[in-house]
Structure 1
Amino acid sequence: MTAPEPDAFTAFSSPRRSMVASGTAQVIELPAPWVDHAAHAHERLARIEGSEHVVAFAALPFDRGEPARLVVPERTWIVDSDGERVRVEVGGSPLRATATPDRSPATSGGRVSGARSEMPREIDVRAAVPPQQWCGDVREARDAIRRGELTKVVLARAIDVSADVPLDDEDLFTRLRSSHPGAFCFAVDRFVGASPELLVSRRASTVRARPMAGTTTRTGHPEVDQRAAGELLASDKNRREHQVTIDAVHDALLGWCSYLDAEPAPSVVQAGPVQHLATMVEGHLGQPEPSVLELVAALHPTPAVGGHPTAVALQMRERLEQAGRGRYAGPVGWLDASGNGTFAVGIRAIQLDDRGGRLFAGVGVVADSDPEAELEETRSKAQAVLSAVVRI
């Protein structure tokens, strides 16, 4: 078990619930491969006295074969959409949880993890791989798709951020939450981001997913963006890419559900400097009901972040990207002792370290992809995080 981190900042915010936390009461290790140990992780929480109030957070690796961990904070401030505000504290030996109403600054956007870090004076941003080399990888993948080896592969660019002092994860989370109010904003193990995409949520017997695939840029001009949204909806390339993801998510959830349905047509969702095609999938879980982490393991990775067919696409991604993704595009979210929870797709995010951090921006490569256009799309997606980083 990893040693507790007394000053750790952890958070997850969605339109339904906002949670910020400090300290580490318990770390739950998931040995490699983490997907084989995910189904019963919530049962570890049930051993804590007062566990009905306990929440664990996780930012899971993209690679299903790696180990992972869940973090139970010492103090968690929770604000639900109905306005209820609660502080949950976990501590003692054996661990015990208490929950009390709370209207402190922490539930109103105040700082929770101690003194603010020193502000950086110098920030340097550079691509880990030269842009033209990355475009060459896109061409190679596109040619393989045209030969019929696969239908889609997701390739991501790594972008390194260097600063003269460590970046403050709580400040970055606060900025992202302010600029992306409809997103799933998170800070777990210094992996900080604002994802537009719901991987899966479970609330009692109701399961929801909202896959996204198919992207165009936003300019900030309503008429221009509305026209681009219409073109996105009418694009055969993007609609095909989107449908592959919807079908995969539907098939992965179907075996768990007594009822499952998807919206008849996608909608366009604005996400900072870009907009995406999105479709809500909703169902009723059958018995025995799986935990949210069991559903996460069944779904990840979707074609939206890996490609299709999955095995072939992941092999090509690993060969062309070379650098490991870490937590990028992995599931990130929370769960409770009943197996309820919400997990987003860990995109539009940066993994912070003592020198700055690394972020990724990915695109879905298909038969008619244009490498230069895909490069521009990665720049737009990266800007969602970089615009918050450079203002810290």
Structure 2
Amino acid sequence: MTTQKGLIMHAGEISNLAQAQSLGEFHLDQDCLFVSGESCLLGHGIKHRFNLPIANTDYLVNELKAQLQAHQDDSENVIAFGVLPFCKYQTAQFIIPKQVAKWDKSVFSQWLNTQTADTTHQDNQLTEIRYLQDRAHFEQTVSEAKHLFDKGLLEKIVLSKQVELGFEHPINGKHVLNQLLTQSQSGYHFAFPTEHDSVLMGVSPELLLRKQDETVTSNPLAGSIPRDPCSKVEAQRRSALFNSKKDRYEHAVVIDDMRQLLEPVCDNLSIPAEPSLLHTATMWHLSTVISGHLKDPNTHILDLANQLHPTPALCGKPTKPAYQHILDLEGHGRDLFSGIIGWCDQHGNGEWVVVIRCGELKAHVAKLFAGAGIVAASDPSSEWLETEAKLKTMLNALSVQQAYTQFNK
């Protein structure tokens, strides 16, 4: 059972729906959620909210440790949930919850489903679509990026778009989260109440870093193709992606960068010779699972995660010039999109994933985000279509995929 001091319950301790319901309701404006595999980490309430700059990793880690120590009380299981923005000159948001519980994913899903079933769900009409980067703008940026490759200034850059969807009624966030859990069985589900009275939620397929004592794991993704309901076409697309020189090169760029960053801190680093295929509800990705044994088991997860972030999978290579060109080409800041989200404890363990396949929900508006890795062989039109496919995760959860398609005809 839970205590008022924030005791973590191990998976299975809350083993049935009746026990889950005894904890009350899930409140999107004050509860944090991070789902990994079949395990659900849930933070109830906000004990302490704080911001930290991320430009200096040593400062970030030391201040975070101090905050966790200050709010530890007599609990050994104090945890901070957090989200780091894409821009290194902005600040990360952290929340130390009043209580923390670890549940089976199936139990949390049932618990949330009962809450959404008890509310009257009404169709929420899509009234407006506003692109912060429309198709012409996006395709022009891809063409401009290809000129940078021709000049030898970059090997890869990740370009993105943001779109704001306006609705007739306030968005039922719990219903959207329930849809994400139902429609996307794999991936890392998350929900985080931001300081701007919005909720950042989604289901990321990409693990930046997991640390448990001396063991670290990462699962970078780069190279994608949309899924298809026809099994024959699906097989053709899997084969096309795996054998695509363009996508294999895009993936190799990311893996090489991860190797350079992790090899110095690991005495044993395992990286498969070639990628595998990973699927979500809407996409296929080239995927490589990297694992390592840390030389120093006391290394804090954000010591590494903040150095890895942003990876070439979200930014480009070389990272610094790619980062600057992103700011120039996109014309809008990404804020929390393509940042990293996760949690860490007072021992420096934790789990962080990239902020993709997600949206920021506030009142009547959902702001969605999607990006694509651009290399010399990229086609501007194809890359736009890839970003459209990546939006489907949130469009389906918002129940507006068909309306969105009609709006854009």
Fold in common (TM above 0.5):
yes
Pair 141,228 (structure 1): closer, same or farther in 2 beyond 3 Å? same
Secondary structure at the aligned position of 2:61 is classed as coil
Preserved CA contact (<8 Å) 1:163 1:356 = yes
Any conservation in 1 of the 2:86–2:338 contact (CA below 8 Å)?
Answer: yes
CA–CA distance in structure 1, aligned partners of residues 348 and 120 of structure 2: 35
Superposed, 1:18-33 pairs within 5 Å as 18-31=40-53, 33=55
CA contact (8 A) 2:146 2:375 kept: yes
Name 2:92's counterpart in structure 1.
68
Q: Are 2:169 and 1:145 aligned?
A: no
1:237 Cα deviation from its structure 2 partner: 0.8
Structure 1 residue 166: deviation in Å?
A: 3.2
Give 1:360 deviation, angstroms: 1.2
Cα distance, 1:119 vs structure 2: 5.0
Q: Deviations over 1:211-240 (max 9, x none)?
A: 000111111222221221111111111111
Contact 1:165 1:356 (8 Å CA) reproduced: no
Structure-1 residue corresponding to 2:205 = 196
Contact 2:28 2:174 in 1 (8 A): no
The question of whether the paired residues in 2 share the 8 Å contact of 1:116 and 1:168 is answered with: no
Match for 1:109: what amino acid?
W
Q: Shift of residue 6 of structure 1?
A: 9.9
Contact 2:54 / 2:306 at 8 angstroms: preserved in 1? no
Q: Secondary structure at the match of 1:181?
A: coil
Q: Which moved more, 1:324-333 or 1:14-23?
A: 14-23
1:243-265 Cα deviation digits (max 9, x unpaired):
11011112112222121111221
- Tell me the alpha carbon deviations over residues 41-90 of structure 1, each in whole angstroms, 9 at most, x when there is no partner: 24432341244322221121111111112112223331258x9xxxxxxx
Confirm or deny: 8 A CA contact 1:245 1:302 kept in the other structure: yes
Cα distance in 2 between the residues matched to 1:25 and 1:6:
15
Deviation track 1:296-341 (CA, whole Å, cap 9, x = no partner) reads 1110010000001111111111011111101111111111111111
Alpha-carbon spacing, 1:73–1:266, altered in 2? closer, same or farther (3 Å): same
Q: Identify the residue that residue 175 of structure 2 maps to in structure 1.
A: 171
1:1-392 aligned at under 5 Å gives the runs 7-31=29-53, 33=55, 35-40=57-62, 41-47=64-70, 48-79=72-103, 108-110=110-112, 121-123=124-126, 124-189=128-193, 190-287=199-296, 289-390=298-399
State which drifts further: 166-175 or 375-384.
166-175
- Which AA in structure 1 matches 2:159? L
Task: Point out the more displaced range, 354-363 or 199-208.
Answer: 354-363
Name the CA distance, whole Å, in 1 between partners of 2:343 and 2:273. Answer: 29
Deviation at 1:118, TM superposition (A): 7.6
Distance 1:360 1:6 in 2: 20
Task: Tell me which amino acid in the other structure corresponds to 1:150.
Answer: L
Q: Distance in 1 between matches of 2:115 and 2:82?
A: 18
Provide the C-alpha distance between the structure 1 equivalents of 2:209 and 2:350, rounded to a whole number of angstroms: 8
**Alignment-mate amino acid for residue 75 of structure 1:** Q
Amino acid at match of 1:60: L
- Looking at structure 2, the residues matched to 12 and 147 of structure 1 have their Cα atoms a distance apart, in angstroms, of 42
Match of 2:13 in 1: none
SS in 1 for 2:60: coil
1:330 alignment partner AA: G
TM-score, normalised on structure 2? 0.83
Q: Does the aligned pair in 1 maintain the 2:169–2:364 contact within 8 Å?
A: yes
CA contact (8 A) 1:120 1:163 kept: no
Shift in Å, 1:14: 1.2
Q: Distance in 2 between matches of 1:389 and 1:271?
A: 17
Check whether the contact 1:118–1:165 (CA below 8 A) recurs between aligned residues. no
For the residues of structure 1 that align with 2:211 and 2:325, how far apart are their CA atoms?
32
User: Could you tell me how far apart the structure 1 residues matched to 2:80 and 2:400 are?
Assistant: 30
Distance of 1:265 and 1:301 partners within structure 2: 22
- State how far apart, in whole Å, the 2-side matches of 1:335 and 1:290 are: 12
| Structure 1 stretch displaced more, 153-162 or 281-290 | 281-290
Query: How far apart, in 1, do the equivalents of 2:170 and 2:59 lie?
Result: 33
Q: Relative to structure 1, is the Cα distance of residues 187 and 378 closer, same or farther in structure 2, using a 3 angstrom cutoff?
A: same
**Which of the two has greater helix per residue?**
2
Kept in 2, the 8 Å contact 1:34–1:68? The answer is: no
**Structure 1 residue 109, shift from structure 2 partner:** 3.0
When the two structures are superposed, what TM-score results if normalisation uses the length of structure 1?
0.86
Distance 1:198 1:161 in 2: 27
Are the counterparts in 2 of residues 77 and 106 from structure 1 also a CA contact under 8 Å? no
- For structure 2, the 5+ residue unaligned runs are 1-26, 194-198, 402-409
- Measured in 1, the distance between the counterparts of 2:76 and 2:109 equals 20
